[in-house]
């Protein structure tokens, strides 16, 4: 139980009211005595310290030292004293409060404490902070154990001093006070030893400190006048000292120097404090805003605080970061990698923690979804106004590249029009092998970027992308970009597991869809060189109605381009229902455009292990290849491997006999339609070297005769349209199983 402050008038009423409870003496040991005490034992200003039921008193008497006695409230209040020998004339009884089991057996060196943190409770000051000692009691006659003795001699006195603060704010800012601290020039709290046998017991310093803080269990509103001031009591050891007062409020910390004053034993020192006249404390790092760091980089900051601030130190730093303070120089060093905290706050504290300063730090790059959204805003989102530099995007760049430092789920707020993250990107993107997860839905373009005009590398992409289509819509989809809109772009080490879906609702729509890129932009100047290196697409692609070109890595290469696709693979499940397709391939849908000679697609060490499912809704073109669906111009395929499956449901249509030049299904190339005319890039139109086709091709519901479809389905190439054009296959092998209408052909 705690002793509380209570008005003296109330004390008198309690004393006249009689006992709250009567409890028989508890006999422990050989002898037990009951002593009376005064209810009001010491004054603190106009208030008194009073006993509460169950308060524990330490006693030394009759050979039983540092024994525990318990207060019983009554008129008068009593406590029990236990001894091992009967008390007789001349014996001494000593007592102190609050009882401590570790106070010691020597009554001349009792260990007592003035706490460094004290509390203002809802009922008033927690008086346990004040150590008290009784004036030694001398037995004047032989006593009988179990009797109640008169109160004479058992008076308790304060050993500490009280500072009584009267706190207000004449500026009427509606502040709420949380705590008040006193950082003194001398020791004012801690552990002390006390000779409780002395007539004038006093605190003797043992292990002490110079700072005391009184906290409010519930923040108290500060009035504007001294007459209505909030009263806050603080216990300190008797001392003569100067120091600094620290007021901690809900709207800031305020400090004030106070001159040297004497705080007497058992005394009260009133002190009025107008917060409006105190100094507001800030910690200034000499910079504004969030500070960006490169990995392992170090920066120094000159820290300034009010002169009255003491014990400024580093309280904390984000995990993996180091922060040291030497004088007024703060040195911050970022971690060497992004496996710890990517951002956070370096916190400085002073005045026993009442004063705090925070420096926000982060690694250069994009560290979370909030920063990704901030970058999107800073970069802008207009197709025709590319941003390549500027202070607003600098915090998100490392070495001139956008750098991802964490796996990020793109929030819907940063996905423009609900369709894609950015409409265009002309700054290189370094994913640092992190994953961007996105869920987009748009009428025509659903992708990470609409237009991409810069390198992308070491990136993983997950989530869903959906286009709803519609009459006249021009759909471009790719998990990285719908359009590739610059020469010289390299996309490397990109792994996508995105589920791509195009819900066309009418025929006549044109679609170019790739697991990584959909199509090259027609606005690119010729010639164009584009590279895909070490890329994977392991998601799904699902379409309905008309399809132009669809590929596991690239939908269509065009516009006089040289496309280099090296060490790329796909295990995608590609499902399309359409009247006709320009080209569907496990890696590339269509290589080139018939009206623009000069395209070459170089496919090296590429593989497809997924499944292509095609269902027709009309008697139209069917061009499907395990690696390349439709070759319009030139291609070189080296060490490419098809081990997946192609399933084509012809819906009882005569696909192959009606127009043989428009259709072809093959394990490596679906249809080779390179012209026989002179070719500026190479003599041969298709060169296949060391390619392997070990997959499965299944044609069902075909209305063609066996003789009609033989020349349009092949283990390596489905159809070579122009037999006079060069088509060279060197050291290529095939064990692909081909079945037509349930009959195995090869």
* φ/ψ of residue 170, rounded to 5: -65, -15
Tell me what pLDDT residue 11 has: 27
Q: Give the three-class secondary structure for 255.
A: strand
Least confident of 389-393, 596-600, 633-637: 596-600
Name the nearest CA neighbour of 239 among 267, 215, 201: 267
Q: What is the pLDDT of residue 149?
A: 63
- What pLDDT, on a 0 to 100 scale, did the predictor assign at position 14? 24
**What does R_g of the chain's alpha carbons equal in angstroms?**
43
Contacts of 92 (CB under 8 A, 6+ apart): 61, 136, 137, 138, 139, 197
Write the CA distances from 685 to 38, 519, 693, integer angstroms.
113, 22, 20
Lowest mean pLDDT among 603-607, 681-685, 698-702: 681-685
- Cα separation of 516 and 240, whole Å? 78
> Cis (ω within 30 of 0) for the bond into 76?
yes
pLDDT of residue 377: 79
Residue-wise pLDDT tens digits, 330-358: 999 999 988 889 999 999 998 777 788 99
3-state secondary structure at position 475: strand
Res. 48: pLDDT tops 80: no
Q: Is the pLDDT confidence value at 60 over 90?
A: yes
Alpha-carbon gap, residue 713 to 697, rounded angstroms: 9
Q: Is the pLDDT of residue 47 over 90?
A: no
704 contacts: CB under 8 Å, gap ≥ 6: 650, 654, 655, 656, 657
At 251, the pLDDT band (50, 70, 90 cuts) reads: confident
Are 158 and 200 in contact by the 8 Å Cβ rule? The answer is: no
Mind listing the pLDDT tens digit for each residue in 506-525?
555 678 899 999 988 766 66
Examine the pLDDT at 20 and tell me if it is beyond 50: no
Residue 579's pLDDT is what?
Answer: 66
Higher per-residue pLDDT: 161 or 77:
161
Q: What is the pLDDT of residue 270?
A: 92
Closest CA to 153 of 266, 32, 37: 37
Neighbours of 123 (CB within 10 A): 11
Residue 418's pLDDT is 39
User: pLDDT digit string (tens) for 91-119?
Assistant: 999 999 999 998 989 999 999 999 999 99
pLDDT of 417 reads 46
What's the number of CA atoms in the CB half-sphere (13 Å) around residue 488? 3
What is the rounded distance in angstroms from the CA atom of residue 695 to the CA atom of residue 612? 11
Q: Residue 669 and residue 629: Cα distance in Å, rounded?
A: 6
Closest by CA position to 420, among listed 378, 476, 370: 476
pLDDT interval class at 543 (50, 70, 90) = confident
Point out the least confidently predicted range of 71-75, 205-209, 425-429: 71-75
pLDDT given at position 19:
31
- pLDDT averaged over the chain? 84
CB-CB contact of 513 with 477 (8 Å): yes
Sign of CA dihedral 522, 523, 527, 533: negative
What DSSP string runs through 114-143?
A: E-SEEEEETTEEBGGGS-EEEPPEE--S--
């Amino acid at each position: 139980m705690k002793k509380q402050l209570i008005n003296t008038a109330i004390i008198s009423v309690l004393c006249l009211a009689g006992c709250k409870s009567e409890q028989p003496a508890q006999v422990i040991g050989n002898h037990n005595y009951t002593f009376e005490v005064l209810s009001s034992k010491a004054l603190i200003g106009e208030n008194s310290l009073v006993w509460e039921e169950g308060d524990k008193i330490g006693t030394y008497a009759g050979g039983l030292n540092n024994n525990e006695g318990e207060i019983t409230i009554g008129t008068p209040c009593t406590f029990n004293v236990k001894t091992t020998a009967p008390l007789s004339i001349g014996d001494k009884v000593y007592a102190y409060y609050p009882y401590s089991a570790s106070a010691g057996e020597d009554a001349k060196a009792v260990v007592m404490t003035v706490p460094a943190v004290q509390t203002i409770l809802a009922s008033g000051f927690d008086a346990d902070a004040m150590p008290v000692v009784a004036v030694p009691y001398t037995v004047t006659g032989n006593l009988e154990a179990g009797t109640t003795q008169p109160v004479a001699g058992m008076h308790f006195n304060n050993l500490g001093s009280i500072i009584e603060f009267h706190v207000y704010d004449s500026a009427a800012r509606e502040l709420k006070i949380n705590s008040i601290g006193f950082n003194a020039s001398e020791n004012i709290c801690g552990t002390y030893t006390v000779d409780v046998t002395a007539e004038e017991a006093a605190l003797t310093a043992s292990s002490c400190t110079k700072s005391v803080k009184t906290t409010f269990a519930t923040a108290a509103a500060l009035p504007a006048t001294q007459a209505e001031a909030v009263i806050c009591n603080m216990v300190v050891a008797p001392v003569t000292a100067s120091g600094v007062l620290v007021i901690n409020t809900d709207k800031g910390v305020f400090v004030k120097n106070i001159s040297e004053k004497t705080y007497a034993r058992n005394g009260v020192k009133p002190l009025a404090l107008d917060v409006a006249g105190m100094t507001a404390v800030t910690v200034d790092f000499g910079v504004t805003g969030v500070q960006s760091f490169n990995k392992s980089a170090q920066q120094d900051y000159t820290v300034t605080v009010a002169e009255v601030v003491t014990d400024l130190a580093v309280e904390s730093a984000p995990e993996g970061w180091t922060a040291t303070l030497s004088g007024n120089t703060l040195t911050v060093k970022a971690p060497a990698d992004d496996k710890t905290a990517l951002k956070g706050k370096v916190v400085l504290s002073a005045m026993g923690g009442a004063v705090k300063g925070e420096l926000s730090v982060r690694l250069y790059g994009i560290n979370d979804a909030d920063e990704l959204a901030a970058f999107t805003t800073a970069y802008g989102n207009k197709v025709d106004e590319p941003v390549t530099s500027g202070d607003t995007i600098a915090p998100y760049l490392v070495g001139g590249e956008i750098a991802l430092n964490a796996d990020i789920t793109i929030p819907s707020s940063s996905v423009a029009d609900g369709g894609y993250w950015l409409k265009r990107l002309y700054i290189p993107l370094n994913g640092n092998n992190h994953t961007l997860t996105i869920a987009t839905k748009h009428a025509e373009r659903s992708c990470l970027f609409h237009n991409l005009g810069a390198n992308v590398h070491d990136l993983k992409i997950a989530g869903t992308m959906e286009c709803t289509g519609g009459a006249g819509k021009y759909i471009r989809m790719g998990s990285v970009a719908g359009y590739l809109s610059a020469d010289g772009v390299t996309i490397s080490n990109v792994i996508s597991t995105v589920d791509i879906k195009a819900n066309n609702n009418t025929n006549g729509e044109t679609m170019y869809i790739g697991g990584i890129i959909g199509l090259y932009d027609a606005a690119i100047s010729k010639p164009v060189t584009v590279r895909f290196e070490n890329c994977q697409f392991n998601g799904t692609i699902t379409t309905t109605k008309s399809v132009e070109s669809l590929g596991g890595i690239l939908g269509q290469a065009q516009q006089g381009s040289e496309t280099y696709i090296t060490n790329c693979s796909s295990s995608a499940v590609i499902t399309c229902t359409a009247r006709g397709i320009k080209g569907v391939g496990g890696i590339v849908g269509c290589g080139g455009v018939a009206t623009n000679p000069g395209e070459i697609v170089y496919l090296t060490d590429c593989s497809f292990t997924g499944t292509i499912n095609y269902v027709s809704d009309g008697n139209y073109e069917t061009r499907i290849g395990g690696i390349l669906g439709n070759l319009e111009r030139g291609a070189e395929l080296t060490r490419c491997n098809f081990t997946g499956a192609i399933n084509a449901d012809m819906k009882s249509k005569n696909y192959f006999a009606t127009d043989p030049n428009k259709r072809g299904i093959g394990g490596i190339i679906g249809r080779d339609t390179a012209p026989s005319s002179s070719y500026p890039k190479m003599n041969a139109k298709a060169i296949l070297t060391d390619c392997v086709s070990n997959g499965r091709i299944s044609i069902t519901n075909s209305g063609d005769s066996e003789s009609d479809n033989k020349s349009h389905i092949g283990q390596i190439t489905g159809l070579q349209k122009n037999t006079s054009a060069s088509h060279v296959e060197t050291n290529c092998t095939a064990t692909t199983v081909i079945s037509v209408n349930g009959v195995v052909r090869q």
